[in-house]
Amino acid sequence: MKLDIITIFPDYFAPLDVSLLGKARRNGLIEMNVHDLRLWTHDRHRTVDDTPYGGGPGMVMKPEPWGEALDALTPPAGPPSTGGDQAGGGGLGGVVPRLVVPTPSGRPFTQALAVEYAAEPWLIFACGRYEGIDSRVVEEARVRMRVDEVSLGDFVLAGGEVAVLVMVEAISRLVPGVLGNFDSVTDDSFAPGAMESLLEGPVYTKPPVWRDRAVPDVLLSGNHGAIARWRRDQALRRTVANRPELAARLDPGDLDKHDRQVLADAGFPVDGEHMAH
């Protein structure tokens, strides 16, 4: 998989060399390139922003550097090239990249979207700053490639860089070979196809007693059925406490009698057809 990141702050992406991502990069599992948007400016001050039409606070990113950056990274429009893999500046054979634009006005970034992105051969991330990028950039890019404006949640960051780090980490760990242990992906709380979104319960390791606090006996019992049941109880309780809207979406058909008792004890009774609340 190939990832291109366009930003006015390439230094933000130093963490891509660390830990899991650094290893995936060094192993060649993921090719990541960070590009300074100012390379595609031509004035003395390397200007990337200007005042918004219609007035209002802050600044807007100018379209020209973005247009040139995307042109430079992507194959030219038109019939498929016959010139082999290197045709089209930076192109990846006949592959068209998918463009991801982080913005608080975007569609939610979810585990399902991370799974989708992890299956793409080529992603380009366009990090906006200030009040955002001139809208014509996304409009024009859509003519040539799939474009998603994506948000991490209902809060506002100062720019897209940190959001892209978050997305790249979520995506990369889903690329086959990046994580050692494939189960840690399929067990994810929000793994699509898990059908049931339960938060993970608490975890413990040695020593068995720490500062007078013992690890729950059941986890040391060797009784795998009892352990699985206990973990599910904890997951149900934590989901009700921290994410009642997820608990409300549980399919009653997936809940056995014991589940219903645990939910009722947590103040979240199941009414048969639909969840209460």
The nearer residue to ligand 6GU, 152 or 235, going by C-beta atoms, is: 152
104 is catalytic: yes
With vertex at residue 24, the alpha carbon angle to CA 23 and CA 26, rounded to the nearest 5 degrees, is: 60
The nearer residue to ligand 6GU, 6 or 150, going by C-beta atoms, is: 150
Q: Is 163 in the site for ligand 6GU (CB under 6 A)?
A: yes
Helix spans in the chain (H): 19-26, 63-73, 111-118, 136-141, 160-172, 183-186, 224-242, 244-248, 257-265
User: Which of 104, 192, 244, 269 is flagged as catalytic?
Assistant: 104
**Single residue of 143, 155, 207, 212 touching ligand 6GU by CB under 6 A:** 155
- Smallest gap, in angstroms, from Cβ of residue 102 to ligand 6GU? 3
Q: Is 97 in the site for ligand 6GU (CB under 6 A)?
A: no
- Smallest gap, in angstroms, from Cβ of residue 250 to ligand 6GU? 27
Residue with tokens 């001139």: 134
User: Which of 120, 131, 148, 169 is flagged as catalytic?
Assistant: 131
Q: Nearest to residue 109, comparing CAs of 189, 156, 171, 20?
A: 171
173 is catalytic: yes
Residue type, 117: Y
Q: Is 151 in the site for ligand 6GU (CB under 6 A)?
A: yes
Q: Is 152 in the site for ligand 6GU (CB under 6 A)?
A: yes
**Cα 13 to chain center, whole Å?**
16
Q: Is 150:106 a contact under the CB 8 Å cutoff? A: yes
Give the integer Cα–Cα distance in Å for 100 and 97.
10
The nearer residue to ligand 6GU, 105 or 181, going by C-beta atoms, is: 105
> Active-site residue numbers?
104, 131, 173, 188
Binding footprint of ligand 6GU on the chain (CB under 6 A): 102-104, 150-153, 155-157, 159-160, 163
